């Protein structure tokens, strides 16, 4: 990439949004580390300037499109997204002089859809239909891009610039921050970019690092990763993770194990992170951290496990943190127990 994520031209000073992406800290999750006897560390991707891990993929995609000449000044970036990649892309388009057109399923949170509009994106909400349907939001965004002069299709699911961004930035950061003492990398995946880019980098550094795919119910990836084929069971309220297919970004990535997490367990996890760690997190973080705890159980005490704190709970307040909405989905809002003085 032309600009390294998180680079600074002067110590402590980032040149705009672009250079502020990356170099996020690792946060030790004290309660869960103490509980498991392992070091469970969360990569604080919610601290990126656009608020999520998807800033890295958005930047990688944009920079490669500029370098190839596909994206010219004044052009348009079109993407089908569950929200966070579109948010990152729109921030970047504002910073670099492009228009953004975002196609998003109408099942995604009102907070994300509203934020995209506030940022200035042209937002088209569409019915949520399976990938095999020609009107799936991903396929539709590709057709729209082809019809607009000077537009590019970000194509985050199958554009390898996505995983290259994580191979070039997220993976090296984790390796350096842990001093190479990492035993397992655990992450859910939607596009495959974060999981695969980091896994490919870490495996090059040490074959002993276990790469563990976390997955919600309703996704086919857990079954695929454990040798049962692309079969999905159940459903999930989580947004932006899980898939019914193996994307180009995920293809060929090392997978040593897979963990499937149900929605209630993910909810319990994010509420505990809030009440006991002070971290206000989104639903995919619940999948990631719960899977990291299960990985710690499988490996036994004394291991270092890294996962991703993808985004904050602010984008899901009307859902994950609303008792009535959760009850309408057959889920219970966790109850806070009084912590002894």
Residues that are catalytic? 54
Whether the Cβ atoms of residue 119 and residue 89 lie closer than 8 Å to each other: no
Look at the alpha carbons of 99, 103, 108, 113 in this order and tell me if their dihedral is positive or negative.
positive
Residue 166 near residue 192 (C-beta atoms within 8 A) = no
Collapsing DSSP states into helix, strand and coil, what is residue 63? helix
Q: Which of 244, 72, 80, 69 is nearest to 159 (CA)?
A: 80
Q: Where are the beta strands (DSSP E) in 150-220?
A: 151-153, 184-188, 210-216
* Long-range contacts at 65-71 (CB < 8 A, ≥ 24 apart): 65/152, 65/154, 65/161, 66/2, 66/96, 67/1, 67/2, 70/152, 71/98, 71/152
Nearest to 195 by CA among 210, 176, 208: 210
Q: Do 197 and 189 form a contact (C-beta atoms < 8 A)?
A: no
β-pairing, 304-309 vs 184-188, is parallel
- Helix (H/G/I), strand (E/B), else coil: 107: coil
Token pair 């800033």 in the structure block, residue:
55
């Amino acid at each position: 990439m032309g600009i390294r994520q998180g680079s600074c031209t002067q110590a402590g000073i980032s040149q705009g949004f672009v250079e502020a992406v990356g170099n996020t800290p690792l946060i030790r999750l004290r309660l869960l580390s103490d509980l498991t006897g392992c070091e469970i560390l969360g990569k604080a991707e919610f601290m990126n300037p656009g608020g999520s891990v998807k800033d890295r993929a958005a930047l990688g995609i944009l920079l490669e499109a500029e370098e190839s000449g596909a994206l010219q000044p004044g052009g348009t970036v079109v993407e089908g997204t569950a929200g966070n990649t579109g948010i990152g892309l729109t921030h970047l388009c504002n910073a670099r002089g492009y228009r953004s057109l975002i196609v998003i399923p109408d099942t995604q949170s009102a907070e994300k859809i509203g934020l995209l509009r506030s940022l200035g994106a042209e937002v088209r909400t569409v019915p949520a239909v399976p990938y095999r349907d020609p009107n799936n939001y991903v396929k539709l965004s590709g057709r729209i891009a082809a019809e607009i002069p000077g537009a590019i299709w970000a194509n985050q699911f199958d554009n390898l610039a996505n995983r290259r961004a994580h191979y070039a930035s997220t993976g090296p950061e984790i390796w350096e921050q842990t001093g190479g003492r990492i035993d397992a990398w655990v992450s859910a995946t939607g596009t495959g970019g974060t999981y695969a880019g980091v896994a490919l980098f870490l495996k090059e550094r040490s074959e002993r690092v276990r790469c563990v795919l976390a997955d919600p119910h309703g996704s086919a990836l857990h079954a695929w990763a454990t040798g049962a084929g692309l079969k999905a069971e159940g459903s999930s309220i989580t947004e932006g993770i899980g898939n019914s297919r193996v994307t180009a970004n995920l293809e060929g990535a090392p997978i040593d194990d897979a963990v499937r997490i149900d929605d209630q367990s993910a909810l319990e996890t994010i509420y505990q992170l809030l009440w006991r760690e002070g971290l206000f997190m989104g639903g995919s973080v619940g999948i990631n951290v719960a899977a990291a705890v299960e990985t710690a159980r499988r490996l036994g005490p004394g291991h270092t496990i890294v996962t991703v704190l993808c985004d904050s709970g602010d984008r899901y307040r009307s859902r994950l943190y609303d008792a009535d909405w959760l009850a309408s989905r057959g889920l219970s809002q966790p109850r806070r127990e009084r912590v002894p003085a």
